[in-house]
């Protein structure tokens, strides 16, 4: 068995504790140590987007500005993130999105499952890919990750633009995301 990220051979772990855990390790300790969990980085976060914040604030500057601009009609109610978007995560997203490395979704399997266990009354609606992107990649990464939760997926959204997100400026991306 090999690490899904760096392909290093994984030593089978034969301690008594691991014999009884159902989650099999898919990545090596080196790779695992490079993930930063948001709840470990800070214990105070923006109430909408989960960005780490100073204790005295409830909303970050971006969420505050959007609330003002959309006058409380912002369709984004709350974002939950598990990991920070550090350099390591950027590398993984590049492998995932641009090299079509589907197997990498299993890196996040346990974390996603555990996060969904804590949620009640929800529907999973992945952000759709443009047809152009879908044909290029062969899968929708949002739907692939969402499938790890083991719940029903509803494809309710339709894409109105085929322009690639990563080619846009931050301002354009924010506007696009907020306007879905």
Question: How many amino acids of this chain bind Zn ion (CB under 5 A)?
Answer: 12
> Which range in 8-16, 66-74, 82-90, 138-146 contacts Zn ion by CB under 5 A?
8-16
Question: How many Cα atoms within 13 Å fall on the side-chain side of residue 58?
Answer: 2
Q: CB of residue 114 vs Zn ion: minimum separation in angstroms? A: 21
> Cβ closer to Zn ion: 6 or 80?
6
In angstroms, rounded to a whole number, what is the distance separating the alpha carbons of residues 121 and 133? 31
Query: Binding Zn ion by CB under 5 A: which of 6, 57, 70, 180?
Result: 6
By CB under 5 A, residue 107 contacts Zn ion: no
Selection from 118, 130, 138, 117 nearest residue 164 by Cα: 130
Q: Record the tokens describing residue 114, joined without a space.
A: 């555990």
Task: Please name the residue ranges forming H helices in the chain.
Answer: 16-19, 29-32, 38-41, 61-70, 87-98, 109-117, 131-137, 141-146, 170-178
Q: What's the min distance (Å) between Cβ of 101 and Zn ion?
A: 13
Take residue 33 and report the two structure tokens written for it: 């140590």
Contact pick of 26, 35, 45, 63 for Zn ion (by CB under 5 A): 63
How large is the angle between the packed helices 170-178 and 61-70, nearest 10 degrees?
Answer: 50
Residues 163, 171 contacting (CB under 8 angstroms): no
Nearer to Zn ion, 77 or 167 (CB): 77
Using rule CB under 5 A, residue 49 touches Zn ion: yes
Using CB under 5 A, which of 10, 31, 95, 142 touches Zn ion? 31
Region from 44-52, 97-105, 138-146, 165-173 binding Zn ion, contact rule CB under 5 A = 44-52
Pull the structure tokens for residue 86: 């550090």
Q: Contact with Zn ion (CB under 5 A): which of 26, 45, 60, 128?
A: 60
Residue 4 touching Zn ion (CB under 5 A): no
- Which residues sit at the interface with Zn ion, rule CB under 5 A? 3, 5-6, 8, 28, 31, 46, 48-49, 51, 60, 63
């Amino acid at each position: 068995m090999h690490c899904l990220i760096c392909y290093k051979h994984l030593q089978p772990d034969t301690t008594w504790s691991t014999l009884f855990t159902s989650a099999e390790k898919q990545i090596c300790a080196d790779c695992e140590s490079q993930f930063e969990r948001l709840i470990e980085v800070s214990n105070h976060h923006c109430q909408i987007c989960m960005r780490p914040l100073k204790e005295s604030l409830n909303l970050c500057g971006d969420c505050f500005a959007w609330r003002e601009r959309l006058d409380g009609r912002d369709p984004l109610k709350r974002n939950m993130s598990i990991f920070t978007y550090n350099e390591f995560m950027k590398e993984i997203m590049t492998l995932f999105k641009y090299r079509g490395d589907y197997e990498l979704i299993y890196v996040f399997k346990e974390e996603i499952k555990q996060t969904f266990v804590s949620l009640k009354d929800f529907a999973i609606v992945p952000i759709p890919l443009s047809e152009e992107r879908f044909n290029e990649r062969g899968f929708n990464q949002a739907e692939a990750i969402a499938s790890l939760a083991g719940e029903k997926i509803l494809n309710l959204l339709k894409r109105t633009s085929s322009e690639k997100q990563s080619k846009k400026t931050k301002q354009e991306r924010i506007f696009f995301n907020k306007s879905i």
